[in-house]
Amino acid sequence: MFHFRKRIAVDRELTPEASSSEGVETPDTPKCAERRHHFDPNLPVDEIELIDATLTRGDTEKAIKIEVTPVQDDSPYPEVCTAVRNYDVDLPANTIRAWAIGLVLCTVGSAVNMLFSLRNPSVTITTYVIQLAAYPIGRGWDLIFPDRVFEVMGVKFNFKPGRFNFKEHVIIVAMSNAAYGGGKLYATDVLLAQQVFYRQQFGWGFQLLFGITTLCTGYGLAGLMRRFLVWPAAMIWPGTLVNTTLFHALHDDKPADPTRANGWLFQGLSYFNFICWALPNSIIANKLFGGSHGYGILPTTLDWSVISGYALSPLIPPFHAVANSIAGVVIFFVLVSAGLHFSGTWYADYFVVQSSDAFDNTGAKYNVSRILNDQLLLDEEAYHAYSPIYLSTQFALCYGLSFAAVAAVIIHAVLYHGPKIKSQYQKGRSQEDDVHIRLMKKYKDSPDWWYFVLFVVMVGVSFAVCTAWPTGFPAWAYLICIILPIIWTIPVGIVQATTNIQIGLNVLTEFIIGYLLPGHPLAMMCVMFKNYGYVAMQQALYFAQDLKLGHYMKVPPRAMFWSQLVASVWSAIVQIAVMNWALGNIPEICSDQQADGYTCPGGRLFFTTSVIWSTIGPARLFSGNALYSSLQWFWLVGAVSPVVTWFLARRYPKSIARYINMPLVFGGSGWIPPATVYSYLCWGSVGFIFNYYIKRRFNGWWLQYNYITSAALDCGLVLSTLLIFFTLYLTSANAPRWYGNYDVYETLDQRGLAIKNFAAAGETFGPTSWP
């Protein structure tokens, strides 16, 4: 039997260090807590009601006690209280053991991820794999090396300074996450598109500097943003709580629940579209219930990869984040989309509901080679003789929602977090939100100037990369693109730190460069407007999340700084070396006919994207009389809607209005496409069960086991995927032949043929002239 408690499932025993009140600042006024947490959806409502009731009664002394107690004892957030220890243990972190294991795993993971990213289907070694693998390696190290101090030329060192501990483990995981937290080095897709599809080769110097600056520019930004995204207690970074829980489970010698993935004996369980199975040739049924190209109503799956494959584990984000994201999916990708699609808007009758492909006026995939000249620029005559670009209904809507999201996140940050951002800038590390920042003050911090110098150096090297090689990218365009992550990192980071969902800038960067340099596809890709404008911010948030992990686990900041920096540079070198080796040694690599599947899907996607956004340009898609010009109204909708919800939250602070997050309503479904409505609805259903029903009905169980359950499911999925990939896919084994593995894929939805009208041979649809 479980003992369920309303708050924390385990009693917290404070050490003398943790319970000390030294350095705790008394709030300036009794309303300090109320102002700080007024719009905080992660703080339990009963806490806010207690503060409000106390202030209403005018009990100043009790109000101050309410404000100070969480700082003295623990985080004000129950999830953090359970997953993170509220005391520090003096253990070595910056050790030879941590660096040796970390660099080896960084090298192996970078090489494997890079090589298999060129293959379709692919496989990725995630940091969960590293977190699991590092533990037995570290314990094995202890069996080999002696706990003895050596001295060489006056330098003392120890290969085994005690038992392998969790702080060393954090250093190893942080190195791996810095190296390939997103799978592979994003810049390699650009290099592949440049070298293979555009036939341009700038050499190793360009490639190495390109890759290193892509990673390290973001790291400099992350360090400069610590006072806003890492140190405040409200920036809980839910994803890190899974890591901390797993660290404690491993090093506390607690047994883990085994879990395994589904998907070989009965592949139909992944997309359990039983209505489509019953009506495989019904266009309407496959549009409404299809999980691959339809609306995915009645989502049912037993495959964790379908649930967490794009939006990550639904057990991690708080329920209000799940609810906002699913509200956006239902409103826009189901209701609005259905109205547009079934009314034939944007010639929707000739396409499936959802596809990530672009189409021509015959309904076939858009052939970009037909509109390019020998210089790989737009051939106007060929373009007008061929076809405009058509998008599926969901794909078109995703651009509108991206416009709204990037506008909404700025307004949301100013209205909801503006005063706190100003205060955090002024106070820096002196802000006293909880016990964790106080405990970290015993360690020397990495000074801001370290990160500032790193950022300035990376900007300078990036500027040289843009101008020293014949990239065709003007220097002024680089200056514009580097402003984007500087502006958006804090607003997007605040949303991610409180919800575990990131709002992407990929569409914004493509949109801007498409207007600035129309007709120059290589400029958008190769000179990294998208890399320095979007990926720099994405990398900054990866690093910020790891810095929060180190903050929670009480790892010295300077050890975190150097481990992440060295791992980033080394990983870029390894991945670019592997990429060049593969291009020189794998026959017919990146061709559609490559025998082993090394077709370079990422580089191919970059090539197609560059043609759409820079060669054709957004003006031909979204401006004037263009087919999708109405989507430009989403900019205004995104900017205005947070103002409305902010006024509602101020007027009704205890209503559902305080939980409405318009950046998530617009951008929480940012993985559509390639994710589907079906996968998001499955994700939301599981999120509702765990983070709403179980959390409220069995709060003690949820606090104790929710994050470790998420880690177990994710780790089980990764391990089983690796096992299936290397034992079945690479050996060309066939799945058992029966209905559940073959016939379930014969529906119109699975074949991408749930289409109302087809253009007859030799005929086209749509306008006879286009911009």
pLDDT in tens, 159-215: 889 899 999 999 999 998 888 776 778 888 888 888 887 777 888 999 999 989 988
Nearest partner of 747 among 319, 278, 233, judged by Cα: 278
Averages of pLDDT over runs of 10 residues in the chain (771 residues) are 36 42 43 59 67 54 48 73 86 91 92 83 77 92 87 82 91 88 78 80 89 89 90 88 88 49 47 72 84 83 82 90 94 93 91 86 86 79 90 91 94 89 72 77 90 93 86 82 90 91 85 78 60 85 91 92 93 92 85 76 74 78 88 94 93 86 92 85 93 89 88 84 75 67 74 84 86 80
Give the Cβ contact number of residue 36 at 10 Å.
Answer: 21
Find residue 158's DSSP bridge partners. Answer: 149
For 3-6, the CB contacts below 8 A with 24+ separation are 3/700, 4/698, 4/699, 4/700, 4/701, 5/699, 5/700, 5/703, 6/699, 6/700
Supply 221's token pair. 């930004």
Residue from 166, 8, 5 nearest 80 by CA: 8
The string of pLDDT tens digits covering residues 43-68 is 766 666 665 555 555 555 544 444 44
DSSP lists the bridge partners of residue 156 as 151
CB 381 within 8 A of CB 458: no
Can you give the pLDDT at residue 3?
37
Q: Angle 392-123-717 (CA atoms, 0-180°, nearest 5)?
A: 95
Q: What is the Cα–Cα distance from 543 to 220, expressed in whole angstroms? A: 9
pLDDT at 259: 35
DSSP symbols for 27-78: PSSTTHHHHHHTT-TTS-HHHHHHHHHHHHHT-HHHHHHHHHHHHHHS-SSH
Please give the Cα distance from 311 to 150 (Å, whole number): 48
pLDDT of residue 520: 65
Entry pTM: 0.85
Residue 205 belongs to what H/E stretch?
Answer: helix 204-224
CA distance 353 to 332: 13
- The whole-number pLDDT of residue 61 equals 52
Supply 641's token pair: 């809607």
Q: Among the residues of 371-392, which ranges form H helices?
A: 380-386
Residue 362, CB half-sphere, CA atoms under 13 Å: how many? Answer: 9
Q: Residue 526 has what pLDDT?
A: 46
Bridge partners of 365?
359
Bridge partners for 155 per DSSP: 152
Number of H helices, E strands in the chain: 35, 4
Here the tokens at position 93 are: 């972190």
Whole-number pLDDT of residue 407: 94
